[in-house]
């Protein structure tokens, strides 16, 4: 059974999100500001999708951002 969660996430300026592995596909939209994720610089209106089993080690925001994230609560946090 697939479990999904939808959240608004505000990243403060200079913040870095902890490295994690996706249990299920993750999708997000940038609603405000901009961020860096998966080797891409993303701005307002951009969409990002990560497939199940992929890892994010570099999610950050220099100036802060607001993201709409649709993901799995079973994601594994990495060291």
Write out pLDDT tens, residues 22-74. Answer: 989 999 999 999 999 989 999 999 999 999 999 989 899 999 999 999 998 88
pLDDT (0 to 100) of residue 77: 83
pLDDT (0 to 100) of residue 1: 53
Yes or no: say if 31 and 66 are a contact pair by the CB < 8 Å rule: yes
What gap in Å lies between CA 54 and CA 25, rounded to an integer?
A: 9
pLDDT (0 to 100) of residue 42: 98
> pTM for this one?
0.88
pLDDT above 80: residue 79: no
pLDDT (0 to 100) of residue 72: 85
Yes or no: say if 52 and 23 are a contact pair by the CB < 8 Å rule: yes
Domains of the chain, each with CATH number or no CATH: 5-77 (2.60.120.10)
> What's the residue count for the chain?
79
| Tokens 């993201």 sit on residue | 67
């Amino acid at each position: 059974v697939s479990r999904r969660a939808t959240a608004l996430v505000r990243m403060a300026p200079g913040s870095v999100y902890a490295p994690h592995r996706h249990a299920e596909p993750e999708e997000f939209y940038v609603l405000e500001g901009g961020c860096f994720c998966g080797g891409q610089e993303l701005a307002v209106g951009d969409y990002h999708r990560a497939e199940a089993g992929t890892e994010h080690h570099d999610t950050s925001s220099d100036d802060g951002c607001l993201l709409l994230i649709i993901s799995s609560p079973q994601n594994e946090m990495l060291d």
